[in-house]
Amino acid sequence: MKNIIYYLPLITTYAFAQSSSQSISTVTGSANTYTSGLDYGSIFTLPPTITPSSYTSLRSSGATSGSSGSSNATTSSGSSNSTVTTSSSTSASRTLSQISGGTRTPGTSAAAAPRPSNTQACNGYPEFCTRKYSNITEVAAHNSPFARERNAQSNQQYGVIQQLDDGIRVLQGQAHMINNTLYYCHTSCDLLNTGPVEDYLRDVAAWLDRNPFEVITIIFGNYDWKLTDASGDAKLVTAENFVAPIRDSGLLEYVYQPPSNAMRLSDWPTLGEMIIMNKRVVTFIDYNFNTNAVPWLLWEFYNVWETPFSPTNVSFPCTVQRPDGISRDQAKSMLYMANHNLNTQVTIAGMNILIPNVAQLRETNGEEGNGSLGKMVKDCEDMWDGRPPNFLLVDYYNYGIPNGSVFRVAAEANNVPFNDRPCCGTPSSSLASGLERSMVTALTGTLAAVAMAMFML
């Protein structure tokens, strides 16, 4: 049982399904439990704040736990009296009292002494530890697995480990079935195949092992949800096909199973609760869900709505596209994702192909200006009663004005001070002379592959 030292004082309160040898039926048959009224005591404690019961505007509310005015709510890297390090360097043997910054035993009276303030960051900020999962805006890597140099079907520059290290907390990708194995491929595995889903998830699980205070989301795109075999017979790919790669990669032990397959904003636990349970991964699938067989792989559109996807229009409207037909009141009770990855369309041999519009990438990922991510977030807040999106889906997250501006936009939406740091490796300072030239070369190769595929038909 990994990292169990963190949770020993709470083992009678929390239900765990951690053993790697536990059967899949046992794991999927019971939901994680937690006590919403638990006194965190010396685990995750912040100075007294007003925590909204629903998702109110974090940008304008100075009374939320995200207020930048709290002198105690600092990350360990910026505080001289911090008692713990950030999650990227937290030792697996760290004790509960070290995590807390105090020694009080959970459940004892705190009247005799001031409650310790939390200095351990959850998803980068101490303020997030007591916020609900549904009350945080995170940057999402659109088509996270597709980071292959000189391939026009790529959507990211760095692989998943670097993405997570840089602050990406939502991973989205498109899976295809080949010979009964799921692969991450973009549009066609002949154009871009980055390998088995299981290999990708194994890297994610290893990263979670090393970062015990991080909560992530994975959205599986089930491209072959209506796959047919050579004879034309339906051969559906469903949520059950995703169980093996999730289990065999080691990720399953971290997957959170909600008490409902259609969670409302108020139903979600806090990040602190998920971290204490060590259930730190929320999984969604876009098509062919089966929560009877796989209750922890949620149907995305029972829980999340999306703005128009694959956008080619810089206006980036904040209207509901998927799922179709939900009311405004329904939308207000769900998580939502802003699709902010600008595309351009190319046509070859009668086929239309969307590729990232890298010529406008820095403006698209910028903090302000027409077509910027910052403007879209503000537009969404205006349209949805002050509530920013939960997920900001972007291409090449490391580019912007300045580079890494997507994380600045998320920090502002969360009403927390941006942890100012150089972003994301050492990308070229000139997008036009670097990434765009690579895209031209890559597009030539992609179109050649499409032409060959058409010839073989």
Concatenated DSSP letters of 394-421: ESSTT-SSSTTHHHHHHHHHTT------
User: CA–CA distance from 195 to each of 35, 199, 226 (Å)?
Assistant: 40, 7, 21
61: nearest Cα among 135, 167, 169: 135
Three-state SS at 191? coil
186 in active site: yes
Parallel, antiparallel, or unpaired: how do β-strands 138-141 and 170-178 relate? parallel
Q: Which residue, 220, 231, 132, is CA-closest to 182?
A: 220
Residues 285, 261: contact at Cβ < 8 Å? no
Q: What is the CA radius of gyration of the chain?
A: 22
Residues 6 or more apart whose CB falls under 8 angstroms from that of 138 comprise: 123, 168, 169, 170, 217, 390, 391, 392, 410
**Interacting residues of 229 by C-beta distance below 8 A, sequence separation 6+:** 235
Q: Which of 186, 247, 375, 378 is catalytic?
A: 186
DSSP letter assigned to residue 36: T
Specify the 3-state DSSP secondary structure of 268: coil
Confirm if 451 and 445 have CB atoms less than 8 A apart: no
Q: Which amino acid is at 258?
A: P
Alpha carbon distance 320, 308 (integer Å): 7
Collapse the DSSP code of 329 into the 3-class scheme (helix H, G, I; strand E, B; otherwise coil) and give the result.
helix
Which is it for strands 193-196 and 181-185: parallel, antiparallel or unpaired? Answer: antiparallel
Q: For the chain, what's the residue count?
A: 457
Could you tell me whether strands 281-285 and 216-222 are parallel, antiparallel, or unpaired per DSSP bridges? Answer: parallel
CB 157 within 8 A of CB 147: yes
Q: Which residue has the tokens 């391939």?
A: 151
DSSP category for residue 58: T
Active site residue 340: no
Query: Which entry of 131, 142, 247, 378 is annotated as an active-site residue?
Result: 142
Peptide bond into 417 cis (omega under 30): no
Catalytic residues: 142, 186
